[in-house]
Amino acid sequence: MALGGRLTGRKLAAGLLSSLLLWAALPRPVKAAGELEVRLDGMALPISIDDLSVWVRSGGMRSSELGVWFTLLEEQSRAGVIELLKAPLINDSSMTRQILNSWAGRQLLDQVGDFVQVDNETTGLTVQTTLESLLEQSPEVTTLGLLEALPAKKVRLDLDALLEVAASWRQQLERQQLLVERLGREPVSQQRSEQSLESVVAADVRLKRLALPVSHRERPLQLQLWLPDATDQQERRSWVVLMPGLGGSPDHFGWLGRALSRNGWPVVVLEHPGSDAIAVQALLKGLRPPPGAEVLPERLRDLQAVLAAHESDELPLSGDQLVLAGHSLGALTALIASGAQLEPGLERRCMQVMNDLPLSNLSRLLQCQIQDVSLPAVPPPVSLVGVVGLNSFGSLLWPRRLSVDRDVPVLLSGGSLDLITPPLSEQLGLLLALPSNPVSRAVLVEGASHFSPVRVEGQGGGQGDDLFQLGEEFVGVQPLQVQALLEEEILRFLDRLETGRSEMTAEGDAEHVQVGSLHLYRLNQTGAARLLD
């Protein structure tokens, strides 16, 4: 390998290791009294851990055999390695313990064992046990401290294998970027100024709260009911059930409940105990692991209880046609409740993606966990006329055929900055797996992320302490304007459902709408297939 190629490879490897550190709390595991063997470009480079410690703690000034290797790196890269090893790896010991004890955390630790071996054995359990021991002694653990504490004579780090995974990650990210570029080449079919945003009302008369007793939970299910004003709206044929994602609260989707009710649609928003904002707060306090796919059975039972309550007139909601809607895991719940059966071969597909460490599509961790979850048999509702999935996912569950009724149109939405449920494999992949339907659509917003649909307290200009005030790097650009666009698309979809399925006609295969500085792309199944050719 040429020197330039080797340096590039080493810089990339350092970046990969940083990602692993942040995601799985798994640094380069070595023991101070032992030896680290780095495999790169077919060579095995032995490094003394004593030298590593001295070099790092001297800020790269102390000379050693290790220093000779690191002088090949640029000054900025050397400083980055030192900062990485000296920086606190863990600041909140309780939360970290819970993450490591979760299904996703254990899977990532196990998979990293393909690249790092401690005394020729798998690494995940050794690292987890060592972290637990260190956290008993101090609330903060540095990367170097963990390296020095691992009980090993020799650790092997296979950078060649990591670089292969990096190539796969890079290819996935390049495909996402190519998708954005190809969408941008579509001619603008509609252009207008930014939409005016509604003001957030402290006490909205349309909102009612209801506690619904259910047999599968100890406490009643908490519901938000958004009721149309019968004096100024035509009565709609449909009613909407909206389910938040993992860690989501009904309050995060008040913007959508309010908009739909103002346009005549009654809406019920579910709060799922155990996978709501309270559950995430318990994670942050170290009281429980993060929720995962194991909550799906209870979520499906919650939905069944709400449908049964509507059937028995316990819910004051008009309409005899059902639309299921949800965000992220709520969207997955809606698809499963619509009758979609998992395609055979999930275990084989998961083995492949887990070998590649699915950090550029985190939803695949949840999808693979479903193998260990016993889903209840849920018959699709007879009254179902449509499904709305915000940042939906399921590419491993339904790679070829998403078996909802062909008479049930589906609206899927996503954003170009979403690496939790990336639109290329998830929303567009699901759209193509659906039965042919002229009304089914995928709507992609350039600059939107996985959390763009989440409306948090204080976004309207006030101050709030909501758990989901995540910052632009997570929620994407202009989240309120993105929500306004999504509101318009959902209303458009529901309006078409009201006309009756037999009267629906297809629109253009691909439409490019520009609203202010935001770009929205509306694709039917033909347009999605053409885009991905």
Question: Using an 8 Å Cβ cutoff, are 274 and 247 in contact?
Answer: no
Q: End-to-end distance of the chain based on CA atoms, in angstroms? A: 35
d(CA 64, CA 68): 7
Q: What is the mean pLDDT of residues 339-362?
A: 84
More confident residue, 461 or 398: 398
Of 28-42, 448-462, 502-516, the poorest mean pLDDT is in 28-42
- State residue 13's pLDDT score: 42
Distances (CA, A) of 508 to 248, 411, 511, 527: 34, 15, 6, 8
| Domain spanning 191-532, CATH class | alpha beta
Please tell me which of 182-186, 215-219, 353-357 the model is most confident about, judged by mean pLDDT. Answer: 215-219
Q: 284: Cβ–Cβ under 8 A, 6 or more apart, which residues?
A: 92, 95
pLDDT at position 70 over 50: yes
Whose structure tokens read 């595991």?
29
Question: Using an 8 Å Cβ cutoff, are 425 and 356 in contact?
Answer: no
Burial 34-57 (b: 16+ CB within 10 A, else e): bbbbbbbeeeeeebbbebbbbbbe
Tens of pLDDT, residue by residue over 26-47, are 333 333 336 667 665 666 767 7
Q: 458: Cβ–Cβ under 8 A, 6 or more apart, which residues?
A: 464, 465, 466, 469
Work out whether the CA dihedral 167, 172, 175, 176 comes out positive or negative.
Answer: negative
| Domain boundaries of the chain, sorted by first residue | 3-166, 191-532
Model pTM score:
0.77
Question: How many Å separate Cα 28 from the centre of its chain?
Answer: 26
